Amino acid sequence: MKVLKFGGSSVANAENIQKVVQIVKNEQQPKVVVVSALGGVTDQLINAGTLAEKGDESYKEVLQALETKHLDTARALLPVTHQSSCLSMVKQHFNELDEICNSVFYIRELSLRTKDRIISFGELLSSKIISAFMSSANIQHEWLDSRKLIKTNNNFGFAAVNFKDTNEIISSTVAASGKQAFLAPGFIASDANSNTTTLGRGGSDYTAAIFAAALDASALEIWTDVTGMMTADPRWVANAKTINRTSYQEAMELSHFGAKVIYPPTIQPVMQKNIPTWVKNTFAPNEAGTVIESAGEHDGSEIITGISSINSVTLLSLEGSGMVGIPGFSKRLFEALANEKINVILITQSSSEHSICVAINAADAAKAKNVVDAAFETELNQKKVDPLKVEEGHAIIALVGDKMKSHPGIAGKMFGALGRNGINIRAIAQGSSERNISAVISVADVKKGVNVLHEAFFESVHKQLNVFIVGVGNVGGKLMEQLNQQKQFLLEHLNLQVRVTGIANSKQMLFVDNGNEIDLRSWKEALKNAQPMELERFVDTVIDKNLRNSVFVDVTANADVAAVYNRLLEKSISIVACNKIAASSPYSNYSQLKSTAREFNAEYRFETNVGAGLPVIGTLNDLRRSGDQVNKIQAVLSGTLNFVFNNYDGSRPFAEVVKQAQDEGYTEPDPRLDLGGTDVMRKIMILAREAGEQIEMDDITNNYFLPASCFDGSVDDFYKEMANQEAHFKALYEEAAAKNCKLKFVASFENGKANVGLQHIPSHSDFYHLYGKDNIVLFYTQRYTDQPLVVKGAGAGADVTASGVFADILRIAAP
């Protein structure tokens, strides 16, 4: 004998029911088939009852819609010749339901007993329609009335089974029948007085397990709309995998902690009889699914079996100095809750005994507050305990696995992963079985938390970065191109999925729904039609999305964008910037950003602030981290100025060469920042700061070569004035050329002092052979004393800057 249970999703409509019946037909063994109400019907029946109780006549429309749904399903399933008796059965049931709900409406009262009566119609109707369909398809079977077979106490809504009577009735009824196939409604039962009861929401699984245990079935099969129990809720975690086999205990833990696929009490009866229980997919019947069996046979290789969550809990904390060392406080707390049938999901007590913290279902919070404060009234008046603290808006996230107990480091990995993603943990608990580690977190973080843990424990092969890019113009556009080009490579070789989830330029911003990513080939079109850019809203959206491993990429040169970093870092969102404004702002701001990043486990990376894609800051950091000390830095750091002096020999006007540098994309948006030396000052300051110096812009000497008049007015005026000053630039060139020297704008830092300025470079200098837009940095350190460590290469340009930004993004994935 086998027991097969089909859930609401499997019997949601006529098309699905046909699939169900095909599966039943293919099963050769004697069988009991248990079915739930058509998907969503139980909720609608509760809705009808509640509306009637409130005196809202729209309950009639709800019932009408339900009647139509059932009639339509019967019509779609049955040949016309078989329809009439089934349709009249449906109508009769709805007549009865109408009468019950009318009574509720008149007396404005919906007792738990009446509610059970109302919701029992869901399973009665579905099972009778399916039975009629099976008969019309010549499948011999007997319809069993579960209300007569499963006996319970009268705890309506959540009745406890009387197994002794139930087992006897089921086995004798089936033995007496002589049939090979049975069909029974799930979820419903009756008490000793034959009042209808129900087994708790989701209880059809339990009905099936009760039948399986009573009949010593060879297997129980739970047929649903996913292939088996999965490593996490597949609606939340795209990469959730089917668990091939698991133990009864693990399955119980997972279901208790929110894995909706199995109703928790289901496991107990099958575990006692050691009946293998399969979770299978009605819509992919050939896939194996999950088998739940005894631990000895469970040889899965993963340490963690699954991750689940309870998404709506309230924390209660009982605190007070009068509790220390006095026995009985916890007993009274739990008694008070138990008397009100409030289920305690998690308990923690610190060793100081000064406080006890428990988590309960959010729906019970108000009741809990009343009963606990009443229970401790005397101590409250004597100020020995504080009024019960009630904190709503929490969730529990749990790691489950039989093998956790023999593996140290699991909790560390769990809390580390949550912490790195800015998820604050309010309370933790580990059962003494060590099969479950649970953490209480904010409900706003629960989806992200499940994904973070899934990635940490199941996707070592697959890490996801969620990237938001502001400034998809010149450099940003190249970055999008490079991301597109490397996407597959990163996935295959670094197991890294880089998903761009939001982009903006100065006019528009574009986000995609969670779970999706921006198409890296067609983003330009999509952005054109997107909403107007508002920086604050962009940042709010990045924070609200609350995605794991989020990175905010700033490829602008904008001060407003630089001003949002701190807010993002405080949410553990990492920053990658080629924008230099923040790192070259007052030292207090620079160091604040660094300490916020440290405090919130985020990263603030800005390698491209100096030397574009060249490894300048990274090299400097490596030197310092490995214990070296920087004595002196000498550098040519302006790609623009290098380009200008490499191309200017007096034959073409100076202004024209500068214009060419701007047209080729090397200059800052305002080229005066480059020509006047400010950009170089910012860069040497950033290097000095990274070398450990507390230095400000005012501390840097600038021997600039641009006549002061060039700084007046607009960028256009600047070009005009440069043209007027051509003689000045020519003289500079000729003076150097006369000494066989080249002109270079050099930055240096030594003994805490930095300066920048134009210098004559003789042919033996390291700086002489520097072409195009190259940069060069010489690090003289304790270990590189005489011959410096040299970094040299193109120091400007969209392609190289984008690749530096890209490299920083990848460093966040694997710091």
Ligand X SMILES: N[C@@H](CC(=O)OP(=O)(O)O)C(=O)O
Ligand Y SMILES: Nc1ncnc2c1ncn2[C@@H]1O[C@H](COP(=O)(O)OP(=O)(O)O)[C@@H](O)[C@H]1O
Answer yes or no whether residue 656 interacts with ligand Y by CB under 6 A. Answer: no
Nearest to 760 by CA among 773, 746, 750: 746
Is residue 215 within 8 Å of residue 200, measured between CB atoms?
A: no
Q: Where are the beta strands (DSSP E) in 226-268?
A: 245-247
225 binds, among ligand X, ligand Y, none (CB under 5 to 8 A by kind): ligand Y
Query: How far is the C-alpha of 187 from the C-alpha of 207, rounded, in Å?
Result: 6
Least distance between ligand X and beta carbon 328 (Å): 39
β-pair type (245-247, 290-293): parallel
| CB closer to ligand X, 33 vs 710 | 33
| CB closer to ligand Y, 232 vs 356 | 232
- Number of residues counted as binding ligand X (CB under 6 A): 13
Q: Which of 5, 115, 545, 683 is catalytic?
A: 683
Query: How far is the C-alpha of 439 from the C-alpha of 357, rounded, in Å?
Result: 12
Answer yes or no whether residue 228 interacts with ligand X by CB under 6 A. Answer: no
Q: Is the dihedral of CA 531, 532, 537, 538 positive or negative?
A: positive
480 binds, among ligand X, ligand Y, none (CB under 5 to 8 A by kind): none
The backbone torsions φ and ψ at residue 154, rounded to the nearest 5 degrees and listed phi first, read -105, 35
235 binds, among ligand Y, ligand X, none (CB under 5 to 8 A by kind): ligand Y
Member of 7, 269, 476, 795 binding ligand X (CB under 6 A): 7
The backbone torsions φ and ψ at residue 731, rounded to the nearest 5 degrees and listed phi first, read -65, -40
Answer yes or no whether residue 8 interacts with ligand Y by CB under 6 A. Answer: yes
Member of 49, 185, 203, 676 binding ligand X (CB under 6 A): 203
Member of 276, 306, 797, 804 binding ligand Y (CB under 6 A): 306
Nearest to 229 by CA among 218, 240, 237, 214: 240
Told to judge if 744 belongs to the known catalytic residues of this protein, a careful annotator would answer: no
For residue 145, give every residue at least 6 positions away whose Cβ sits within 8 Å of its Cβ, in sequence order, or none: 184, 185
β-pair type (774-781, 630-636): antiparallel
| CB closer to ligand Y, 227 vs 781 | 227
Nearest to 20 by CA among 124, 139, 174: 139
What are the distances in angstroms from CA 490 to CA 496, 498, 521, 591, 814? 5, 8, 17, 33, 12
Answer yes or no whether residue 201 interacts with ligand X by CB under 6 A. Answer: yes
- Report the alpha-carbon angle 58-64-65, nearest 5: 95
Q: Which residues within the stretch 217-246 sit at the binding site for ligand Y (CB under 6 A)?
A: 224-226, 229-230, 232-235
CA–centroid distance for 248 within its chain: 28
Answer yes or no whether residue 258 interacts with ligand X by CB under 6 A. Answer: no
Task: Choose one: 7-15, 536-544, 615-623, 800-808; the region binding ligand Y (CB under 6 A).
Answer: 7-15
Answer yes or no whether residue 187 interacts with ligand X by CB under 6 A. Answer: yes
226 binds, among ligand Y, ligand X, none (CB under 5 to 8 A by kind): ligand Y
306 binds, among ligand Y, ligand X, none (CB under 5 to 8 A by kind): ligand Y
Is residue 689 within 8 Å of residue 658, measured between CB atoms?
A: no
187 binds, among ligand Y, ligand X, none (CB under 5 to 8 A by kind): ligand X
Answer yes or no whether residue 49 interacts with ligand X by CB under 6 A. Answer: no
CA–centroid distance for 264 within its chain: 25
Query: How far is the C-alpha of 204 from the C-alpha of 724, rounded, in Å?
Result: 89
| CB closer to ligand Y, 308 vs 546 | 308
Answer yes or no whether residue 501 interacts with ligand X by CB under 6 A. Answer: no
Task: Choose one: 52-60, 197-205, 467-475, 580-588; the region binding ligand X (CB under 6 A).
Answer: 197-205
Please count the CA atoms within 13 angstroms of the CA of 625 that sit on its side-chain side: 6
524 binds, among ligand Y, ligand X, none (CB under 5 to 8 A by kind): none
Task: Choose one: 1-9, 54-62, 88-96, 544-552; the region binding ligand Y (CB under 6 A).
Answer: 1-9
| CB closer to ligand Y, 153 vs 312 | 312
| CB closer to ligand X, 186 vs 289 | 186
Query: How far is the C-alpha of 554 from the C-alpha of 426, rounded, in Å?
Result: 33
Task: Choose one: 5-13, 443-451, 652-660, 798-806; the region binding ligand Y (CB under 6 A).
Answer: 5-13
For residue 105, give every residue at least 6 positions away whose Cβ sits within 8 Å of its Cβ, in sequence order, or none: 52, 53, 55, 57, 59
Is residue 572 within 8 Å of residue 422, measured between CB atoms?
A: yes
| CB closer to ligand X, 186 vs 613 | 186
The backbone torsions φ and ψ at residue 632, rounded to the nearest 5 degrees and listed phi first, read -160, 140
Least distance between ligand Y and beta carbon 530 (Å): 31
Least distance between ligand Y and beta carbon 87 (Å): 25
Answer yes or no whether residue 8 interacts with ligand X by CB under 6 A. Answer: yes
Does residue 546 come out as left (phi exceeding 0), alpha (psi in the -120 to 50 range) or beta? left
Residue 525's CB is within 10 A of a number of other CB atoms, namely 10
Answer yes or no whether residue 202 interacts with ligand Y by CB under 6 A. Answer: yes
- Report the alpha-carbon angle 146-147-151, nearest 5: 100
| CB closer to ligand Y, 458 vs 538 | 458
229 binds, among ligand Y, ligand X, none (CB under 5 to 8 A by kind): ligand Y
| CB closer to ligand Y, 38 vs 657 | 38
- Number of residues counted as binding ligand Y (CB under 6 A): 21
Q: Where are the beta strands (DSSP E) in 545-657?
A: 550-554, 574-577, 604-605, 630-636
Helix (H, G, I), strand (E, B) or coil at 6: strand
380 binds, among ligand Y, ligand X, none (CB under 5 to 8 A by kind): none
| CB closer to ligand X, 42 vs 609 | 42
Residues forming a β-bridge with 464 = 497
Answer yes or no whether residue 261 interacts with ligand Y by CB under 6 A. Answer: yes
Is residue 576 within 8 Å of residue 809, measured between CB atoms?
A: yes
Answer yes or no whether residue 36 interacts with ligand X by CB under 6 A. Answer: yes
> What does the binding site for ligand X look like in residue numbers (CB under 6 A)?
7-8, 36-37, 42, 122, 186-187, 201-205
User: What does the binding site for ligand Y look like in residue numbers (CB under 6 A)?
Assistant: 7-10, 36, 39, 202, 224-226, 229-230, 232-235, 259-261, 306, 308
Catalytic residues: 683
